Amino acid sequence: MSTAALPEVGAEREPLVGSPLTVTDFVRYQGASGDMNPIHHDTEFAKAAGYPGPFAVGMLQAGILSTYATDWLGAPNLRRFKVQFREQAWPGDVLTYTGKVVATREEAGETLVDVELACTRQTGGTHLKGWATFVA
Amino acid sequence: MDTSLEGRTAAPFTMVVELGKVREFAAATKSTNPDYAGDPGDHPVSPGTFLMSAAFWQKPENSPFFGVELNWHRILHGEQEFVFHGTPPRAGDVLTGVARIDRVYEKAGKRGGTMTFTESVTEFRNPAGELVAESRGTMIETSQAAS
């Protein structure tokens, strides 16, 4: 356990505003993760499935939300990260990532910090809700 | 809803957490955190969602859905969770993964119809057999076409 100051409940991280989403971002993430579902990069395929075009890979924004949190509370300290997918995000969307400490607690001799996270579209709609736990 | 799928367990697979993959994955998720970088010989920690890339090490028979008929056009990825029993995996770690279907349950949809939730979990163990990480995904199948 480190001796760094424990984040206070209610502490918020400065929001991260992403650059507009591009299909290139999706393809790069898909190549890195191994999920090559064409619905995220093939316009004809997405239209045939009833969508106006390719939509964002939720796990890409989940990954950005995860590193947004670990940049704050420490990459090696992460013990749990959960994300819930809400409304879809689309190329051109500008997403804002936010995080807030909601609890600190002791468990099995460790101090844990619980964080609530969100990724919000420029429309105000919620793309992702997230939860993370770090060891202090 | 097919609750008989609960407990369906796939064949184990082995994955190596590779330095280049950690760097590539971090860059693809737009991270510039030096904790996810590292030079040859370093063992940087992997990002929180890195275990998605286990897909590269999984053959069809390593999926608990292997041989199951699914309406993929009605299935959405609802949730994804990662649990680490200690520091997340580091470059150089060798992990054995076993995936299983954990729970199948139904809920009423907000706009009518029913939604079937299927939770699968992949448990990752180190060479000593200790559980080091879990990746849990929830797939949602709608009784109406996704809108």
CB-CB neighbours of B20 under 10 Å:
10
Sheet order of strands, B13-16 included? A12-17, A96-107, A110-120, A126-135, A78-85, B75-84, B131-142, B114-125, B94-108, B13-16
Does residue B122 belong to the interface with chain A, where contact is any CB pair within 8 Å? no
How many interchain CB pairs under 8 A, A with B? 106
CA A55/CA A41 separation, integer angstroms? 8
Chain B residues near residue A129 by CB distance under 8 angstroms: none
Interface membership of B49 toward A (CB under 8 Å): yes
| Angstrom distance (rounded) from CA A95 to CA A57 | 13
**Domain formed by B3-17+51-142, architecture:** Roll (3.10)
Q: Which chain A residues have a beta carbon less than 8 Å from that of B27?
A: 28, 32
Instruction: Indicate yes or no: CB of B79 within 8 angstroms of CB of A75.
Output: no
Helix (H) or strand (E) holding B36: none
**pLDDT mean by block of 10 residues, chain B; 147 residues:** 90 98 97 93 97 96 92 87 98 98 92 90 98 97 66
Give the pLDDT of chain A (136 residues) as one tens digit per residue.
444 678 999 999 999 999 999 999 999 999 999 999 999 999 999 999 999 999 999 999 999 999 999 999 999 999 999 999 999 999 999 999 999 999 999 999 999 999 999 999 999 999 999 999 999 9
Q: How many CB atoms lie within 10 A of CB B90?
A: 16
Q: Which one-letter DSSP state was computed for residue B111?
A: T
Pairwise CB contact (< 8 Å): A33 & B55: yes
List, in order of start, the domains of chain A with CATH numbers. 12-135 (3.10.129.10)
Give A-chain residues touching B25 at CB under 8 angstroms.
Answer: 32-33, 63
Chain B residues closer than 8 Å to A66 by CB? 29, 47-49
